[in-house]
């Protein structure tokens, strides 16, 4: 009895020591990082009220004189998001089926696609967008391609993951019946996979709305370009109107996708 007590005490002590050590490690890490960027914590704390003062004096009241001219970019953003989500979900399905280990035609295809997709996904899409701006010039085209690139890499990964997580019994039964590859996909995979397909695709639509709102910052069209324009001209009243429109748009889209999701699943 006492031996067991001793052991559990020791374990508790070990755990406490581990906790202290990791806290110490974190403290050192914080100290080092503050030292590295030569940042003054007090200055940061002081700048917070400055930031709020700026936010409330310069951004309010919102200037709504040009409200009509913002309508075009808002519609553009929506159109952008619809087109890029459809394109990237189509490409994502094809690549996702080739990437999941239970539906891949060949394991070398799977490995190759995994590498390419990991590379595309891990570079932030604003970097892709600005490279594409260099290649295609300013306009809607680089933004469109950047979103498709980003969306395809994200969707093919999550599609492949959800295909791999599916129940294997149905596939086995179809195998036993002698079903061909496409028959197996049609009857064994797709019915099970559809709920996660809907949910991820709708999620992608939300992400794309946000993304196309900031794409304009690198000169790739959409709402971000007015945002940048008004900020560069110090017309912060107009900026706050644009931000308010953006917030309303994003919240509305979130609401609609949630309703659709509830209906479908």
Partner 1 sequence: MSKSQMPIPETLLMKESMLTKKKIPIAHKQTKRQQQYFFTTVGILFIVCLLQIDISFSQFQEGVARIPSVLSMMLQMSFTEFPGLASEMVVSLVTAFLSLVLSIVFAVVLAFLAARNTTPNRHIGMLLRFLFMIIRAIPATVWVLIAVASIGFGTMAGVLGLIFPTCSYLVKSFSAQIEEVGQETIEALQSVGATWWHIVFRGLIPTLLTSFLAITAFRFEMNVAESVILGMVGAGGIGLLIQGYISFYEFSSLSLGILMVFITMFLLEFMTTQIRRRMSN
Task: State the residues that interact with partner 1 by CB under 8 A.
Answer: 26, 29-30, 33-34, 36-37, 39, 43-44, 47-48, 50-51, 54-55, 58-59, 78-80, 82-83, 86, 118-119, 122-124, 126-127, 130-131, 133-137, 139-141, 144, 191, 194, 198, 210, 213-214, 217-218, 227-228, 231, 236, 243, 246-247, 250-251, 254, 260, 263-264
Comparing CB distances to partner 1, the nearer of 14 and 105 is 14
* CB-CB contact of 102 with 168 (8 Å): yes
Minimum CB–partner distance for residue 87 and partner 1 (Å): 8
Residues counted in the chain: 265
In the complex, what is the shortest distance from the CB of residue 147 to partner 1, in angstroms, rounded to a whole number?
Answer: 12
Q: Minimum Å distance from CB 146 to partner 1?
A: 12
Cβ 95 to partner 1 shortest distance, Å: 19
Q: Which alpha helices (DSSP H) does the chain contain, by range?
A: 2-36, 41-58, 71-99, 107-122, 125-136, 140-164, 169-177, 181-184, 190-215, 223-232, 236-264
Question: Tokens standing for 225?
Answer: 């370009």
The pair of three-digit structure tokens given for residue 263, joined into one six-digit string: 């209906």
In the complex with partner 1, the residue whose CB is nearer, 110 or 121, is 121
Q: How far is the CB of 3 from partner 1 (least distance, A)?
A: 27
Question: Which residue, 57 or 107, is less far from partner 1 as judged by CB?
Answer: 57
**Closest C-alpha among 133, 147, 126 to residue 80:** 147
Please count the CA atoms within 13 angstroms of the CA of 81 that sit on its side-chain side. 25
196, 160 Cβ separation under 8 angstroms:
no
Q: For partner 1, give the closer residue by CB, 59 or 70.
A: 59
Peptide bond preceding 61 in cis form (omega within 30 of 0): yes
- Shortest approach of partner 1 to residue 86 CB, angstroms? 4
Comparison of 6 and 12: residue with beta carbon closer to partner 1:
12
Q: Which is nearer to partner 1, 105 or 137 (CB)?
A: 137
Residue 148 burial (CB count, 10 A): 20
């Amino acid at each position: 009895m006492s031996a067991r007590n001793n052991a559990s005490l020791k374990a508790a002590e070990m755990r406490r020591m581990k906790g202290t050590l990791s806290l110490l490690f974190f403290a050192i890490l914080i100290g080092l990082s503050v030292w590295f960027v030569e940042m003054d914590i007090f200055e940061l704390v002081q700048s917070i009220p400055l930031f709020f003062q700026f936010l409330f004096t310069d951004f309010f009241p919102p200037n709504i004189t040009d409200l009509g001219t913002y309508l075009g970019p808002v519609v553009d953003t929506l159109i952008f998001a619809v087109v890029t989500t459809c394109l990237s979900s189509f490409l994502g399905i094809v690549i996702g089926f080739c990437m999941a280990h239970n539906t891949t035609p060949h394991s070398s295809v799977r490995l190759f696609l995994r590498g390419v997709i990991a590379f595309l996904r891990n570079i932030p899409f604003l970097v892709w967008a600005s490279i594409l701006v260099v290649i295609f010039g300013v306009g809607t085209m680089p933004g469109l391609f950047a979103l498709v690139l980003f969306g395809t890499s994200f969707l093919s990964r999550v599609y492949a993951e959800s295909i791999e997580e599916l129940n294997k019994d149905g596939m086995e039964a179809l195998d036993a019946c002698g079903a061909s590859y496409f028959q197996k996909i049609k009857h064994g995979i797709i019915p099970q996979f559809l709920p996660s397909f809907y949910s991820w695709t709708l999620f992608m639509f939300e992400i794309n709305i946000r993304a196309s709102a900031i794409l304009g910052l690198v000169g790739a069209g959409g709402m971000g370009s007015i945002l940048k324009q008004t900020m560069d001209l110090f017309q912060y009243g107009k900026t706050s109107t644009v931000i308010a429109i953006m917030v309303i748009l994003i919240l509305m889209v979130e609401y609609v996708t949630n309703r659709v999701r509830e209906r479908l699943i």
